[in-house]
Amino acid sequence: MSGFRERVEGERAYLLRYATLQLRDAAAAEDAVQETLLAALAGEASFAGRSNLRTWLTGILKHKIVDAIRRSSREAPLPEESELDALFDETGHWREAPQAWPDPDASLTQKQFFAVLEECLAKLPAKTAQTFMLREHLGFETDDICKELAITPTHVWVLLHRARLALRLCLQMNWFGKT
C-alpha cells in the first residue's frame, strides 16, 4: 500500500464519525466515506499538499454528504417534532427557562463536550439535524438548504430554531447542568 493510501485510510475513522453525525444513518455514512476514499485515491495527483489531508478529505466528504442528503430528502417524510413543543407554553414562552451557561468558551475546549454534543445532535429529529448541520457546520445559506431538503425558508428557520433550543436543553441537562 502506498504512503498516500495509508494516510488516506488513516483518516477513515474521523470521516466516518463526521458523516454519521450529519447523515444519522450508519449505512449512508459508510457509503459516503467509501465514495470519499475512492475519490481521494483516484484524485491523488490533485492533492498538492497545500492543505491538510484531513481538510482535503473532509471537503470531498461534504460533497458526498450533500449528495446523500439529496437522495434521502426525496424519500424521507418530515418527522414529528411534538417533543420540542412540550418545552413551551401556549404563548410560546419557555415553561422552564434554561440556566445561563458558565464560561462556554472554556467548555468548548474540552473533548468530552464534543462527545456530549454529538449525542445531543443524534437525538434531534432527522430533518432538524440535517438542517442544523447544513447551516451551522457546512455553512449553507437558507436558499441552498431549501433546495437540498425541499422545504420553505420559513420551515428552515423553524427547524433551526427548534434545533438550537433542543441542543441547548440537551447540553444543559447533559453537560452544563452536571456537577
Q: Specify the pLDDT at position 162.
A: 94
Q: Specify the pLDDT at position 138.
A: 84
More confident residue, 113 or 144: 144
Q: Specify the pLDDT at position 179.
A: 45
What is the rounded average pLDDT of the residues 149-167? Answer: 93
Map out the domains of the chain with their CATH numbers: 3-73 (1.10.1740), 82-176 (1.10.10.10)
pLDDT digits (tens, 9 = 90+) for 47-77: 877 778 888 898 899 999 888 888 776 665 5
Instruction: Among 86-90, 104-108, 140-144, name the most confident range.
Output: 140-144
* Phi, psi (rounded to 5 degrees) for 88: -120, 155
pTM here is 0.49
pLDDT band (50, 70, 90) for residue 105: low
Q: Give residues with Cβ within 8 angstroms of 59, minimum separation 6.
A: none
User: How far apart are alpha carbons 23 and 16 in whole angstroms?
Assistant: 10
Question: Is the confidence at residue 83, as pLDDT, over 80?
Answer: no
pLDDT digits (tens, 9 = 90+) for 126-153: 899 999 988 988 888 999 999 988 999 9
CA-CA distances (angstroms) from residue 1 to 6, 8, 57, 155, 170?
7, 11, 18, 48, 44
Place of cell 459516503: 32
State CA 174 to chain mean position distance: 19
- 20-24, 81-85, 150-154, 161-165: least confidently modelled range: 81-85
